[in-house]
Amino acid sequence: MPYLPGMTLRASITQTIAGTRTTELANAVDALTARYRSGIPAGSPILSREIDVLAYTAYRMPATYAATRAVFEQLHDVVPDLRPGSLVDLGAGTGATAWAALDVWPDLTSLTMLEQSDAAIAVGRRIAENSDATPLLAASWRQWHLGQTQPLDPADIAVAAYVLGELITEQQSLLVETLARTASTVVLVEPGTPAGYARIITARNELIARGLNVLAPCPHSLQCPLLARDGDWCHFAERLERSSTHRSVKSAELSYEDEKYAYVAAGRAARPGATGRRPARILRHPTLRKGLVSLQLCTEEGSAVELKVAKSEGEPYKRARRARWGDPWPPPEHPAGSSTLSPP
Ligand X SMILES: C[S@@+](CC[C@H](N)C(=O)[O-])C[C@H]1O[C@@H](n2cnc3c(N)ncnc32)[C@H](O)[C@@H]1O
Interacting residue ranges for ligand X, rule: CB under 6 A: 45, 47, 61, 64, 91-93, 96-97, 115-117, 120, 144-146, 161-163, 166-167
Name the residue number minimizing CB distance to ligand X.
Answer: 93
Q: Which is nearer to ligand X, 92 or 266 (CB)?
A: 92
Q: Which is nearer to ligand X, 124 or 330 (CB)?
A: 124
Which uninterrupted H or E stretch holds 75? Answer: helix 61-78
342 near 306, Cβ under 8 Å? Answer: yes
Q: Which is nearer to ligand X, 47 or 58 (CB)?
A: 47
Give the span between the Cα atoms of 268 and 236, in whole angstroms: 24
Q: Which is nearer to ligand X, 156 or 166 (CB)?
A: 166
- The dihedral built from the CA positions of residue 70, 71, 74 and 79, taken in this order, carries a sign that is negative
Which uninterrupted H or E stretch holds 134? Answer: helix 134-137
Q: What are phi and psi of 100, to 5 degrees?
A: -65, -45
Q: Which is nearer to ligand X, 92 or 224 (CB)?
A: 92
Minimum CB distance to ligand X, residue 320 (Å): 33
Minimum CB distance to ligand X, residue 111 (Å): 13
Q: Which residues lie below 8 Å from residue 150, measured CB to CB, with a gap of 6+?
A: none
Q: Which is nearer to ligand X, 96 or 214 (CB)?
A: 96
Give the span between the Cα atoms of 344 and 130, in whole angstroms: 50
Which uninterrupted H or E stretch holds 103? Answer: helix 96-104
* C-alpha dihedral, 62 to 64 to 65 to 68, nearest 10°: 160
Angle, alpha carbons 244-247-249 (nearest 5°): 110
Q: Which residues lie below 8 Å from residue 342, measured CB to CB, with a gap of 6+?
A: 305, 306, 307, 308
Q: Which is nearer to ligand X, 61 or 297 (CB)?
A: 61
- The dihedral built from the CA positions of residue 134, 136, 137 and 139, taken in this order, carries a sign that is positive
Minimum CB distance to ligand X, residue 199 (Å): 13
Minimum CB distance to ligand X, residue 72 (Å): 12
Q: Which is nearer to ligand X, 66 or 226 (CB)?
A: 66
Minimum CB distance to ligand X, residue 116 (Å): 3
Give the span between the Cα atoms of 213 and 218, in whole angstroms: 10
Minimum CB distance to ligand X, residue 45 (Å): 5
Minimum CB distance to ligand X, residue 35 (Å): 10
3-state secondary structure of 321: helix
Helix axes 194-209, 169-182, angle to 10 degrees: 50
Q: Which is nearer to ligand X, 181 or 285 (CB)?
A: 181
- DSSP category for residue 210: T
Minimum CB distance to ligand X, residue 180 (Å): 17
3-state secondary structure of 77: helix
Minimum CB distance to ligand X, residue 91 (Å): 3
